[in-house]
Structure 1
Amino acid sequence: MIRNKRLNQKGLTLIELLAVLVILGIVSTIAVISISRVIEDAKDRALVGKAYALRDAANLYLKQKILDGNGLTENITYSDLYDSDYIDEIKDPDTGRYLSSTNPSYIQVSGEMITGVCFIGEKRNLCTYKGVTGPIPVKDLSVEFIQNN
């Protein structure tokens, strides 16, 4: 009786094993593609977030200039903000390296209002609006305006 049970036990056939491996390969491919897309989306949102951080620092800088009675300028540069300690070094979302204090990013000012942001990373930028190179209006800052350098 015990002998018959052993003979009736079956293992996986080669075809079944190959089917399992193919299914695991398909699932892992889908997972890698999905994770890659999530990472790219996070980098896009981080780039927009850096532009907003630049805008917020420029807003404080501008208010201080107004309070001090200093003349207002058309643009506030990343360098102005960094040199005046209104912002720390910004880390580029694509490379993970800090942007130098000479980075050409700037904030556009009109009167006493911030009207646009031009953020330039090492690989990509937020500095083209509707096909025209220049600052993006603050109300329109989004991932759809990210361009490669």
Structure 2
Amino acid sequence: MFKKIMNKKLLKNQKGLTLIELLAVIVILAIIAAIAIPAIGNIINNSKDKAILSDAAGVLAGAKIAIADGACGDTTQDTVTCKEEVLKDVFEGELDPNDKVTYTKADKKYIIHYSELGKIRNTTKFTVDGFYKAGDTNISEEALNKVMNK
């Protein structure tokens, strides 16, 4: 009997959250969301940009193989251009008809023209010598290596 009286007394003393407490919790959650959502958005954009740069590196790797095999034309010339029709055989991703890789023997430089590079959003983070403006679709191998390490 005593236990029943105590249980009823305990139940009467218990109260739920007040409206003020509930509003305080909602405000705190809103502040956390306001901070977290832009940070998550930046992480997603940076990962998309890194994926584009990684694809450009894949295009370059495929072009090097194709140039070494002579699939891109006469390798005795000063400049060898490996065009999209050859690159699609050595690169699994999607390519634009204007995508190409040019190798200049005198400078020993590769220049990648990859249309997806124009879609990079965070141009301030991925800025290096020779690759710095929004919409730029050309990058040298040296600049690509630098920007991939950022």
TM above 0.5: yes
Deviation of residue 87 (structure 1)?
Answer: 2.0
Structure 1 residues 131 and 122, CA gap change in structure 2 (3 angstroms): closer
- Taking only aligned residues, the RMSD between alpha carbons, in angstroms, comes to 3.3
More helix as a share of residues: 2
- Match among 127, 140, 148 for residue 143 of structure 2: 140
Structure 1 residues 30 and 45, CA gap change in structure 2 (3 angstroms): same
Residue 123 of structure 2 corresponds to none
The superposition leaves residues 50-85 of structure 1 with CA deviations (integer Å, 9 ceiling, x where unpaired) of: 11001000000010018x976544321223322xx2
Residue 16 of structure 1 corresponds to 21
Give the alignment's TM-score, normalised by structure 2: 0.68
In the alignment, the residues of structure 1 paired with residue 29 and residue 116 of structure 2 have an alpha-carbon distance, to the nearest angstrom, of 38
Paired AA for residue 35 in structure 2: I
Rg (Cα) greater in structure = 2
Residue 86 of structure 1 corresponds to 90
The superposition leaves residues 94-126 of structure 1 with CA deviations (integer Å, 9 ceiling, x where unpaired) of: xxxx444x2x12212112845221211286269
Q: Percent identity?
A: 25
Structure 1 residue runs of 5 or longer lacking an equivalent are: 91-97, 144-149
Paired AA for residue 80 in structure 1: V
Deviation of residue 35 (structure 1)?
Answer: 1.9
Paired AA for residue 111 in structure 1: K
Residue 35 of structure 1 corresponds to 40
8 Å CA contact 1:107, 1:135 repeated in 2: no
- Is 1:118 the counterpart of 2:123 in the alignment? no
Deviation of residue 29 (structure 1)?
Answer: 3.1
Give the alignment's TM-score, normalised by structure 1: 0.68
In the alignment, the residues of structure 2 paired with residue 56 and residue 63 of structure 1 have an alpha-carbon distance, to the nearest angstrom, of 11
In the alignment, the residues of structure 1 paired with residue 35 and residue 47 of structure 2 have an alpha-carbon distance, to the nearest angstrom, of 18
8 Å CA contact 2:112, 2:139 repeated in 1: yes
More strand as a share of residues: 1
Structure 1 residues 70 and 115, CA gap change in structure 2 (3 angstroms): closer
Deviation of residue 19 (structure 1)?
Answer: 0.7
